[in-house]
Structure 1
């Protein structure tokens, strides 16, 4: 028997998401829509809504710890398990709370076990639909307001900005639906950003939405809810590198480590006029560690994401996937192996050459490079294994939020 299809729907614009749900239900009456309202999760309460045919049921849940991982483990995944039974609906729409990023939820769908198996063995994960209000999305994606300041769900120890959520939702989409209104210039700039941020996603307007909303005819290279590995190519989907409406995507690469203190000073260049930064970095004080850098709008985080193959020896090489081994072999350096800086920067009205100059100035000089790894490890390192600016405590559940093991955050 075929598995029910699962569509993941997200977006900050709640009316737009409801409009898309209405289109989906009109296209197929045998659709169940599951939604968990997280606005009171800080108090340990979550409101579950399940719509199927003529039913519209609300249930208040009391969670022991009031966190996202509890919601996923104790109710959301078990509910999907129940809906996937043979007498269940043909399609399921998982409508995410506006504060959630789909990548983290999809990771749980693919890896968290329910009755000994991930949910994706019982449902066919078709992909992610993201609703974008073209009148407000660009401002959201470039601002520095936190989710708490916006009045969104306050997950424990959650300091994400609205920009980080807005960008994460669009970047992970298979289908982007414009649900708002904007003038021609705002629409052109938003499209220029989305073309570079999510080049593999199909884009359409709510007015033009048709059967594609069921995600039955996505192109062969569609993401379909599968997260990228940290070592995958940064320019997924071959986005344009030309400048359009003040929007430009550029890549910074180098084969020498960053001086931690100078990189810390250079971070401001990644927050001024930059919509998105993401990539692998190499700090001189941590020659074994791959660090992942990611920014959106006014929020930036850096966290540990494993080890370089050059530091792990034969065991690490054997454990790596074939694509990572191939890419490492192609760029192998006789001294540094696969260590490198590879950072993609999506700028909006910023000068990419200024950003590149700031990052280049943060690299070790020739004299520092010649001093060797023992000297590098003694350099001042303001990032620490956990660091926020201003200083604070680490979140209680990084793994549940889908983040790296250690982070440095700036706002």
Structure 2
């Protein structure tokens, strides 16, 4: 068994930056997202707003609209070689941002994403796709990823079990994403969340939604806006030139592994919202965990994290629940299962987090799950999950015996992949 990895050092970088800024707006309800965009345009007439309509994307056509506070300056149909979101980003969205930065030097931009596009896809494109041989970030500074949530429809969206194809709004023929998945990923990737308007159920329900968003994304800046009375200057100060985007922050399923906040432990109900963090060192018994999958998520809006099974002790297993379905998959090896000379290929932040929490017997292996729901019982949840851990007698049998346990998850989490897999009764990620 490997010893604790050494803690790495971190470089210090300068915050000085004179490039025009790019604010990325996402949100599943375009009326609310566009209302925020119009407000920003009203406060700054030099601002450029870029939008793409994906209605015809499966036929290889998108519509691009560029506007300022004074009106539309571009409105064009764009033909794509392939009808998909990644092609749209690569072939038109990023080139448009670069072109505008050159033709309108010094003017900031806002990119409003179509409702089915996840902001992490844009971040990946900005990081890896070149325009005219250079990264887009050579010309523009990505300032913030802002997600706008419509208070009137948010809870229904999070609770929905529909997928995009059923609703007829999928971004490609092979787009099998669930509606709730898209909303959750828009929320969790953002560094800034705007709760727009009021719930149709009244002030208490609006406050409950605000608490829910705080529990789902405790790392984000949270802003509430009454859609009937908006101060454009105030909202602009809250959303632009904030320098909130941190491209080094990992995706939500890897946050806990790299030492970032995965969720807040708030077991006391606030407006009916409960957030419970479950952590343990012992492994789960595979059959006992499988038997409670439906029960532990029955009242949850969202649960996420990572775990380890006694029968598969080398594998970090992702846990991803939203919209009534659970997906699980491999996040690679635990460091304790790797030869020392492989550690240098692991993220620096991951090694640092492991070093700070290293156990002489378990190494970096542990359970870290977050559950967020309405009117749930966190004590009962903890009892249920604790009952799935190995007992003292089972621990004493040792790892070679654990690997022989009957395992309903056999073959679901192959090492060397990072794909999520259906569990019984679950939906694909």
Normalising by structure 2, we get a TM-score of: 0.81
Return closer, same or farther for 1:241/1:353 CA change in 2, 3 Å cut-off.
closer
- Counterpart position of 1:41: 57
In the alignment, structure 1 residue 339 sits paired with structure 2 residue 365 = yes
Return closer, same or farther for 1:367/1:172 CA change in 2, 3 Å cut-off.
same
Deviations 1:140-197 (A, max 9, x none): 1122222233342343433322222222222333333233332112112101101222
In the alignment, structure 1 residue 273 sits paired with structure 2 residue 292 = no
Q: Cα offset for 1:123?
A: 1.0
Q: Please, which runs of 5 or more residues in structure 2 have no aligned partner?
A: 1-16
Q: Cα offset for 1:379?
A: 3.8
Are the aligned partners of 1:33 and 1:93 in contact in 2 as well (CA < 8 Å)? yes
Equivalent position SS for 2:18: coil
Q: What aligned pairs does 1:231-242 form with structure 2 within 5 A after superposition? A: 231-233=257-259, 235=261, 242=268
In the alignment, structure 1 residue 213 sits paired with structure 2 residue 236 = yes
Deviations 1:273-293 (A, max 9, x none): 212211121133432222221
1:114 is aligned, of 119, 131, 145, to 131
- Counterpart position of 1:408: 422
- Counterpart position of 1:201: 221
Equivalent position SS for 2:363: coil
1:2 is aligned, of 18, 31, 36, to 18
Equivalent position SS for 1:288: strand
- Counterpart position of 1:187: 206
Deviations 1:297-348 (A, max 9, x none): 3133222223211112223333445543333223222222101111111121
Are the aligned partners of 1:8 and 1:96 in contact in 2 as well (CA < 8 Å)? yes
1:228 is aligned, of 227, 250, 257, to 250
Count of aligned residue pairs for this structure pair: 394
- Counterpart position of 2:43: 27
Return closer, same or farther for 1:375/1:236 CA change in 2, 3 Å cut-off.
closer
Q: Cα offset for 1:404?
A: 3.6
Are the aligned partners of 1:289 and 1:306 in contact in 2 as well (CA < 8 Å)? yes
Return closer, same or farther for 1:193/1:291 CA change in 2, 3 Å cut-off.
same
Are the aligned partners of 2:84 and 2:171 in contact in 1 as well (CA < 8 Å)? no
Q: Which has the larger radius of gyration?
A: 2
Return closer, same or farther for 1:112/1:352 CA change in 2, 3 Å cut-off.
farther
Give, in whole Å, the separation in 2 of the partners of 1:187 and 1:317: 46
Return closer, same or farther for 1:72/1:339 CA change in 2, 3 Å cut-off.
same
- Counterpart position of 2:384: 358
Q: Please, which runs of 5 or more residues in structure 1 have no aligned partner?
A: 388-402
Are the aligned partners of 1:234 and 1:344 in contact in 2 as well (CA < 8 Å)? no
Q: Cα offset for 1:11?
A: 1.0
Q: Cα offset for 1:46?
A: 2.8
2:282 is aligned, of 229, 234, 256, to 256
Are the aligned partners of 1:127 and 1:174 in contact in 2 as well (CA < 8 Å)? yes
Equivalent position SS for 1:243: strand
Give, in whole Å, the separation in 2 of the partners of 1:62 and 1:377: 53
Return closer, same or farther for 1:140/1:356 CA change in 2, 3 Å cut-off.
same
Are the aligned partners of 2:94 and 2:136 in contact in 1 as well (CA < 8 Å)? yes
In the alignment, structure 1 residue 13 sits paired with structure 2 residue 29 = yes
Are the aligned partners of 2:146 and 2:190 in contact in 1 as well (CA < 8 Å)? yes
Are the aligned partners of 2:160 and 2:323 in contact in 1 as well (CA < 8 Å)? yes
Q: Cα offset for 1:22?
A: 0.9
Deviations 1:79-121 (A, max 9, x none): 2222232644611111111112212322322333334443223
